[in-house]
Structure formats: structure tokens, C-alpha cells
Amino acid sequence: MRKTMSLDVNAGLQLANWENTSAIAPDISHQQREQLLASFKAAIRIPTVSFSETDRNTTALAEFNILLKRAFPIVFSSELVKHEVVASYSHLFWVPGSDPALTPYMLLAHIDVVPAAESDGWEAPPFSAEEIDGFIYGRGTIDNKQSVMGILQALEYLLERGYRPRRGFYIGLGHDEEVSGREGAVNIVKVLKSRGVKLAYVLDEGLGVLDGIISGLDGPAALIGITEKGMANVKLSVTTAPGHSSMPPRETSIGILAAAVTRLEANPMPRLFGYGPERGTFEHLAHKFGLPLKFIMSNIWLFSPLLGRVMERKPDTNAFVRTTLAVTMFNSGVKINVIPPYAEAFVNLRIHSAQTVQEVLDLIRSTVGDERVKVELVNGFDPLPVSAYDETAFGYQIIKKTTLDMFPQLTVAPGVCVGNTDSRHYVDLTTDIYRYAPTWFKPGDPGRFHGVNERISANNYEELVKFYFLLFQNCDITKLPETHGSDHEL
């Protein structure tokens, strides 16, 4: 039955006449469920940790290579699938389609994880994959082995059932995303560029399904990342004359630098809510809020200053309001009775879409306001381009359709990814990059990213497998259906 709510901006193409490509149902037997969970747990138990760009657990990465071949024998033996190892530990798969006129797409995920120690307070050892109350605990369960294994598991099942895609696709699994992706993703991109590959869209990790995370929202929402914030690492340093602690000067290198850091923390970057794509997020979600929030969200052009002040009160929503600044390292001193001649601090910034690295550097220098403090850019990059999310955006609409096929109760909206992903290295291959997997997050769960007690429910992992199972088939749609005009405007 056709819906006629003209204000339902989530409707989009949901009720249009889609070309039917999902001929193979995502049925999973009890035995298959046990097998897919066992393979996923085996992946979590391998500590593929990236400590730094030059320090990675290569023994674990090599073991992971072996696991993939054992867990997905059809993927690795099929004549249809072309596989190659890139930079020793990353993987590139190419599955050609029956219609070469259709532009291929690409799915990304990463194998490596950040460090974790049981002493940090985990309920289960971080590389145990222990299941407690239906949740699988372990580093990589939501960042990002659930997608690594889910993508390949879905492809394994499809190939087993005789699937042959109409639209070709690539799968790229990087091994050093947590430390910049300069070996994995960068080299995969070089391979693709050398072959003249252009992509319809790229889908990587990023946002997910938020249930109870956005205050005042009626029901869960799936946010598809259409961009990600920029990033900069900035070094602050002070050099003074050394001396003995018994005859201290009025100010020391540590004191001068500490005062500069205090000024930065006391004077956050300006509120920019409403000046970036986060505006589209709340306009898409407006109809799911009660009054007066519905009215406010529907008129962000007027109320963005008010919303910005409200959202900056919590760290997780403050990230959408401005460029965030975190002092992450502070080094000085060699002996307890020696006044150190040198002190340094490192600041990590995640840059709002309405700013650039240079603008942020200028603001830091202005806020520090002390010529004795040297401000240097270590590295960084501007915010990523905003990908299309209107009714003509093939990738966005296919991802949205697949999500609603799985979870018709959800509201779907574009979002901003506050972290950075391997997908930023793919900007020369496509104009449309999306960052999303239907991993569910309830209150408290976002803190598990790179934190303690990272986990995913066994049921949600099975849902991920089914999502990719449907996504592969939905991508075989040759073109988007006609829209229904004003009844379904975005």
C-alpha cells in the first residue's frame, strides 16, 4: 500500500518498483550459523594488532591469511573469483560481472586492530572471543573484523548457491588501517589505478544503527556516512635554558607549555553545526522526533546555534558540532632535580567539514598566543568530499534499500563519520564513498570502539552476513527506479 506522507523524507525510493535481483534468499541453517560464528570467533582470537606504522604483529597477520583460506574455501577456489595478496598481508578480490557495461563497485574492510590488554578491565580476555549473554567479546568485533568476515561469508554462501553477479565488484581488505593504511589500502589503490579501474561507489566501515543514542529520536536510525572529518596531528614545543631545581626561574618549559595547553582546552574550536553535511542528517531524521524537536530539526537554518549549544554538552555529539581537539601526549624532563630545557605536547584534531587544516592551525596559534611555543603540523588532511545521497545516488540508495530490506522499521539518514577510514585513499577511483555497516549500537556501545569490552551480539553478526548477502544481489540492479515525486521527496 502506497504511503502519502509528504514530509517523510526517509521514504525516498523505499516504495518504488525496484528491479528484482534478490533471487537467492539469505537462509542460514542451524549448522551454517554454528559454522559462521565459529569462523568469526577464530578471526577474533588472532591478535592482528597494529601498534604503529612500523610495528605490527606480522605473525598474526600471516596466521589470519591462513584462516581466511580455511574459512572460505569456495571463495579462494572459485574460477569466478580473482584473488591476490597485496603488500604481503592485504587482500584484493575481483569478481567480474556478466554485464561489463555496468560500472563495478567495491567493499572495504580492515584486518588489523588496536592494542588491548586484559588488565584494562575487560569482562572477557580481549582476544578470547568469549560469548557472554549472547555477545561475542573481543578486539575487532566491531572494528572491523565483523565486516571482513561478514563480506566473505556472504560471498561464500552465494557462490555455493550458484550466484553469478551481473555487476562486477571488488573487495579490499587492508592490514594497516589503524595506523594510516599506507601499506595496505594505498597499495591496493595503486594496483587498481594501474588497471584503469573506476568504481560506481565504495562502501567501507564507519557508521551503523543507533538505537537510543540520539536523544528524543523515536526508534533506531541507520546512519550512512557520506563523508568523514579531516585529521591533523600538531606538535607544540617550548625550549628554554636548563637549570637546577634549587634555583628555578619564574617560568619553566613545562609551565609555559602547560599554560598553552590549558588555553587550548579552555577555548574549543568554534561551533560549526549546520555548516556541514550534519545538517542533512537531522533534516532526514526530523519527522521521527516529537514536538518541539520536530519543528526545530525541520528548521535547522534557524535553530542551528541552539542545537549546537545543546549538542556540545556531550562528547559523542560534540564531535558533530566542531573540530575537536585532544591533547594525547606530553613529554618533558629527564631527572627530578633538573629543570628541563625542552617540553613537547601532541594534539590530535578531527576537523569539521566546514574547516581546513590551515584554518585550524591558524586558530591554534592565535589561541596559544605565545611566541615561545612553537606550533608545527606533523601530518594531516582536510575533510573528505561529501558523497551524493539524493535519489539519483546509486550507491547510497542501494545501501539504503538493503538496510530497509533487512530492517524495515529503521529510519535511514546520511551521516558524518567522525573517525577516519581506509576509504579516504580511494577518492581518485570514485566520487561516491560511503561508510556504514548495520552494526547495532545502544547507549554505552560507542565507547567500546578502541575501548574496553568491545563486543557484538551473535545475532547481529548473522544479520551482517545477511546484509552483505542481499547487498551483492541488490547491486545487480541496472538502474534506480523512477521516483514517486513529492510523495517521497528526500
Catalytic residue ranges: 112, 177
Are 48 and 126 within 8 A, CB to CB? Answer: no
Say how far apart CA 424 and CA 426 lie, in whole Å.
Answer: 5
Provide the residue type at 475 as one letter: C
Residue 305: phi and psi, rounded to 5, are -60, -40
Residue 366, classified by CB atoms within 10 Å of its CB into exposed (0-12), middle (13-18) or buried (19+), is exposed
Which residues are 244's β-sheet partners? 338
Provide the residue type at 218 as one letter: D
Say how far apart CA 354 and CA 414 lie, in whole Å.
Answer: 17
Provide the residue type at 442 as one letter: K
Q: Who's near 269: CB < 8 A, 6+ residues apart? A: 322, 323, 324, 325, 349, 352, 355, 360, 363
Cα torsion 203, 457, 52, 118 to 10°: value is 180
Which three cell numbers mark 225? 556516512
Say how far apart CA 223 and CA 215 lie, in whole Å.
Answer: 15
Angle between helices 458-474 and 30-45 (to 10 degrees): 100
Closest by Cα among 427, 403, 423 to 414: 403
Length of the chain measured in residues = 490
Angle between helices 145-160 and 458-474 (to 10 degrees): 60
Which three cell numbers mark 487? 510523495
Provide the residue type at 267 as one letter: N
Say how far apart CA 39 and CA 151 lie, in whole Å.
Answer: 13
Classify 190 as helix, strand or coil: helix
Q: Who's near 211: CB < 8 A, 6+ residues apart? A: 220, 440, 441, 442
Are 7 and 283 within 8 A, CB to CB? Answer: no
Say how far apart CA 188 and CA 109 lie, in whole Å.
Answer: 12
Closest by Cα among 161, 144, 153 to 72: 153
Classify 259 as helix, strand or coil: helix
Which three cell numbers mark 145? 573484523
Are 418 and 320 within 8 A, CB to CB? Answer: yes
Are 88 and 159 within 8 A, CB to CB? Answer: no
> Taking the mean position of all CA atoms in its chain, how far away is CA 255?
38
